[in-house]
Amino acid sequence: MSAAPRKPWGGRFAEPTNAFVERFTASVGLDQRLAHHDIMGSIAHARMLARVGVLTDAEAGAIVAGLEGIETDIVEGRFTWQVVLEDVHMNIESALVQRIGEVGKKLHTARSRNDQVATDVRLWLRDEIDAIDGQLRETMAALIERAEREADTLMPGFTHLQTAQPITFGHHLLAWFEMLARDRERFQNCRRRVNVMPLGAAALAGTSFPIDRIYTAQLLGFDRPTENSLDAVSDRDFAIEFVAAAALLMTHFSRMAEELVLWSSVQFGFISLADTWCTGSSIMPQKKNPDVPELLRGKTGRVNGHLVALLTLMKAQPLAYNKDNQEDKEPLFDTVDTVRDSLTAFAGMLPGLTVHAERMRESARAGFATATDLADYLVRHGLPFRDAHEVVGQAVRRGVETGRDLAAFTLDELRSFSPLIGEDVFAVLTLEGSVNARDHLGGTAPRQVRAAAARARARLDNT
């Protein structure tokens, strides 16, 4: 039986680490996903050490070649991860020493695992934010395209989930676009604070070696190095900020998902989801369940929980690094996975969405949706708005009492509430014919929706 690998920090200890402690404190089961970025950081560090004369060019070349070989082994599944080596960093360093010999031990000069892991996580999260940005952009483009197609599709708008005013489905979809546009801005702003390099802060006090942090930052694509070494190794604000932005994105997805669930029900009947994005019931043969949007709602709580976990993790930590910070990875990693899967799910549902335009139009005619339009009609004919509000409120009360919508009233009945009402009022109340020329739809009229979609596309193209 081969001896357990010697721990790089084991010189001070007279007894081996308890087996439970090894398992309890290890993070390698989680942080393997940082391997590529750990190797990126180590290669840049080695090249910087050679540049300032701490390593020879030959030593740096051997280290870089060894690290590149290890990455190939990891990618091709030949690398053996060991819990006894605790984390991704020590697993890779140990493998490097085995591969190239004693020179591999020189790689850790002028750095600590504290600044190393902080750098790795920032490199990894930067790439994930870029991937999320690409997914968001594609989803927003799909919403614009669908909004243009549905610019003429009338539907009821709601407040308090009660019928409010008629709008177009295209206008509603552009509201979703605006929610995602704010999310995208938040992630882009977060990326700027992520893209600062902690490497060179070492454990907490920097290093006495003449390192060139600006050069290392340039090699790794960071905007700049961090300023304060204590803050650099203990800061997890960037992770909290990312998860906060993700929680808002998931909240938006949850609101959109709730509408998809409601609209696809028999009671609404506004839309149908594609069969490939639904599931059935084990007992009820007729069921077509909107499981994907329901899961989007559910996963929102998961990400919200991760935000609370990270805030709680950091709330009482003294400077600088503490082992508590190892617990930042699981909520952060799971948040990224959840967000990326949710973006895939939402974007996947959109193309297969069938809109039942006539059902939407029928619903827009019901529930006195045109009451505000009738009040505006009276205002345009000279009645002060508060008086117009009162007149239409009386008409609605009569409609409730008689079980009729305003469009079902005769002209004489309508004129009994105000003599200002003329035959042309039915163009407002019936929602029949082309809606392009309907002033009562205001900013939700098809021509306005198409103009808004064009502006949205221009904004997207410029970012």
Catalytic residues: 160, 281
Half-sphere CA count of 230, side-chain side, radius 13 A: 4
Q: Are 29 and 329 in contact (CB under 8 A)?
A: no
CA dihedral for 87, 93, 98, 102, sign (positive or negative): negative
Of residues 183, 217, 181, the one with CA closest to residue 197: 217
Cβ(26)–Cβ(83) below 8 Å? yes
Q: What is the CA radius of gyration of the chain?
A: 31
User: Directed axis angle between helix 113-149 and helix 446-461, to 10°?
Assistant: 150
Sequence letter at residue 26: A
Rounded distance, CA 241 to CA 243, Å?
Answer: 5
Sign of the Cα pseudo-torsion (66, 68, 69, 70, in order): positive
**Cβ(173)–Cβ(197) below 8 Å:** no
Cβ density class 361-400: b for 16+ within 10 Å, e for less? bebbbeebbbbbbbbbbbbeeebeeeebbebbeebbebbe
DSSP states along 201-226: -TTTT--SS---HHHHHHHHT-SEE-
Residue 111 contacts residue 206 (beta carbons within 8 Å)? no
Distances (CA, A) of 400 to 284, 383, 426: 37, 24, 19
Cβ burial of 266 (10 Å; 0-12, 13-18, 19+) is exposed
> Is there a contact between 353 and 271 (Cβ–Cβ < 8 Å)?
yes
* SS3 (DSSP) at 194: helix
**Percentages of the chain per state (helix, strand, coil), in multiples of 5:** 65, 5, 30
